[in-house]
Amino acid sequence: MKSGGAEGGEATSPAVEWLGRSLSPREAAELAELTCDWLWETDEHHRYSWLSDSFDVHSHGYRDKMIGRSRLEFIAETLHSSQTAEEHREILAARKPFRGLTFKVRSEREHTRWVTVSGVPRFDSEGRFIGYRGIGRDVSRPLEIIDELVETRKSFRTKAAWQGWPTT
């Protein structure tokens, strides 16, 4: 018998219900790994209180700098966030789940990453709000590709106009 008290190392934790299917904790963890780059939690003031180890891989060692800070700080610094800080603040005040919030995180080494996060509110056994839990993904590369395409199109239009070619 292995740690956890079950044969074959499978934990005796209760199953996780997901989309009409009962999953073991291991299966749920496998799906989580497929759907996100890291996991996170915030406290009741929306400050990051925990980030999974995988966040360090994607943030180049920035995890310790994130703990105690709020997403709202980063959204306010991001010119093209998927929501304004005020819109996100309203969702948080209503204790609603959110999905696909995209914003920029810049480390002290000026290494900029674009991230997208989704989260659900957490409540204790007495129904008191205790923060959010969610997933995060690094979406920097797809956004960089889009930026490159936009710049290429601008360059082409400029050259086409200079040559007298149609630009539509």
Domain count across the chain = 1
90 within 8 A of 96, measured Cβ to Cβ: no
The alpha-helical segments, DSSP class H, found in the chain are: 25-35, 54-59, 63-66, 71-77, 85-93, 140-163
Residue 6 belongs to some domain of the structure: no
38 within 8 A of 58, measured Cβ to Cβ: yes
Residue 3: phi, psi to the nearest 5? -55, 140
Residue 164 belongs to some domain of the structure: no
Tens of pLDDT, residue by residue over 85-129, are: 788 889 999 999 999 888 877 666 666 778 889 999 999 999 999
What is the Cα 20 distance to its own chain's centre?
25
| Mean pLDDT, residues 129-145 | 87
Residue 78 belongs to some domain of the structure: yes
pTM: 0.70
The single residue listed with the structure tokens 């900029």 is 112
Domain CATH for 44: 3.30.450.20
In angstroms and rounded to an integer, the radius of gyration of the C-alpha atoms of the chain is: 21
